[in-house]
Amino acid sequence: MSRGLFGTDGVRGRANTYPMTAEMALRLGAAAGRYFRRDNNSAHRVVIGKDTRLSGYMLENALTAGLTSTGMNVLLLGPVPTPAVGFLTRSMRADVGIMISASHNPAEDNGIKFFGPDGFKLSDEAEDEIEAIVAGDIEPTQPRNIGRAKRIDDGRGRYVEYAKTTFPAGQRLDGLKIVIDCANGAAYRAAPEVLWELGADVIAIGVKPDGFNINAGVGSTHPEACAAAVLEHGAHLGISLDGDADRVAIIDEKGRLADGDQIMALMAARWAEQGRLRGDALVATVMSNLGLEHFLDRRGLRLERTKVGDRYVVERMREGGFNLGGEQSGHIVMTDYATTGDGLIAAMQFLSAMAESGQQASELATQFDPVPQLLKNVRYAAGADPLSAAAVQAVIADAESRLAGSGRVLIRKSGTEPLIRVMAEAENEVLLREVVDGIVAAVEKAA
């Protein structure tokens, strides 16, 4: 069936507009309850977390109504990072976990992500089955089997304590001044707590959510805020999370940015030296820089590429038995520690490298020289399909011909927004810009 509701990362859209309406959230909750409730006993439970968007209250209540109507007991965690939901789903023996968040999107958007009882995001097949249930008649449970709902006060505390255990025993952050930018999002309390309890001098920004300011000028999509704070306070490091804290950007003491590719390169090299990198491979998407691939090749390691989306990275990791993967955007997946991308725990791996090596952040943040890469986004109207236009296809074919043997072109639709992403890599930066600008112009004209 065609996927009408689910995208690359759950269901997402503008709040109070299809599919992010209370009515649809209620049906999604009921459908998920029907899908996961295997029998008629009363032990089935769901954990629900959310970020700090105002619309989270509406969607949380609607999901709860749908879930309890099919006999699921709901445990409400309040604002917690997305990886905390994956962790707590498994830790609390829940049948399903749900995170209400649109990640790095603006406050007007929201989304619903599902986790299975193992703490991993659902497969395409499971989402298709839930979508089919949504489209049909959902049978409610008998009155005596309606579920209950209650607030869980220690969800964040459980995650904080677990996150601290991922930092090497005996290591501390004493003497380090760290800026942590929480994007006014889900980690606004948890992330500063973890770093402070491990001994750091913490400067926290993006920790005053008001329901509307998530990702607004702060967070990993606006790392300049963290960089400015690092320079202002003379910090040793900046950590910039996104709205649901499943991605991270690292800022060195000079205010320079390290993206997910550089962080993964550091971790892959260190883990390989320590004999911890399973399969001698790193899993990343087609968006990761060719420089990362060359860096791994020189060390006898492999880069396994997937289509865009951290869920596809995780699927390949599980298939191949790999334990490290992620995306250039800063989703870093470490299955030794988490079932999904965890920005805070990834940052702590970087901090561990600093502590062990005695090197500054700037010495660790650039592991390879990236091949020049240019990415531009083109917004298009709902229902349009500019990539199918013959003129666009011709321009793309010409670009691929011009870059043959010296670079690559990647064109794709975003799975979360009505955007077409035009990306190319090439050593010749003049040619690179000509190629990307040509494709963008053709797509804009068709759109």
DSSP 264-319: HHHHHHHHHHTT--GGGEEEEETTS-HHHHHHHHHTT-EEEEE-SSHHHHHHHHHH
pTM of the model: 0.90
Q: Is 244 annotated as a binding residue?
A: yes
Asked whether residue 232 is assigned to any structural domain, the reply reads: yes
Is pLDDT at 18 greater than 50 in this prediction?
yes
Span 195-250, pLDDT tens digits = 999 999 999 999 999 999 999 999 999 999 999 999 999 999 999 999 999 999 99
Q: What is the mean pLDDT of residues 127-151?
A: 94
Residues 326 and 303 in one domain: yes
> How many other β-carbons are positioned within 10 Å of the β-carbon of residue 427?
12
| Mean confidence (pLDDT) of the chain | 94
Residues 214 and 284 in one domain: no
**β-strands 419-426, 373-379 pairing:** antiparallel
42 is catalytic: no
Span 402-432, pLDDT tens digits = 998 788 999 988 876 789 999 999 989 999 9
Tell me the pLDDT band of 1, cut-offs 50, 70 and 90.
very low
Q: Out of 103, 220, 240, 329, which one is annotated catalytic?
A: 103
Domain residues for 309? 260-364
DSSP state for residue 137 in the 8-state scheme: P
Residues 328 and 221 in one domain: no
Per-residue model confidence (pLDDT) at position 407: 86
| Domain-terminating residue out of 364, 397, 428 | 364
Per-residue model confidence (pLDDT) at position 2: 46
Residues 234 and 337 in one domain: no
Q: What percent of the chain stands above pLDDT 90?
A: 90
Residues 12 and 93 in one domain: yes
CA-based radius of gyration for the chain: 22
Q: What is the mean pLDDT of residues 306-314?
A: 91
Residues 267 and 348 in one domain: yes
How far, in Å, CA of 131 to CA of 134, rounded? 5
Per-residue model confidence (pLDDT) at position 39: 61
Span 157-188, pLDDT tens digits = 999 999 999 999 999 999 999 999 999 999 99
Residues 135 and 10 in one domain: yes
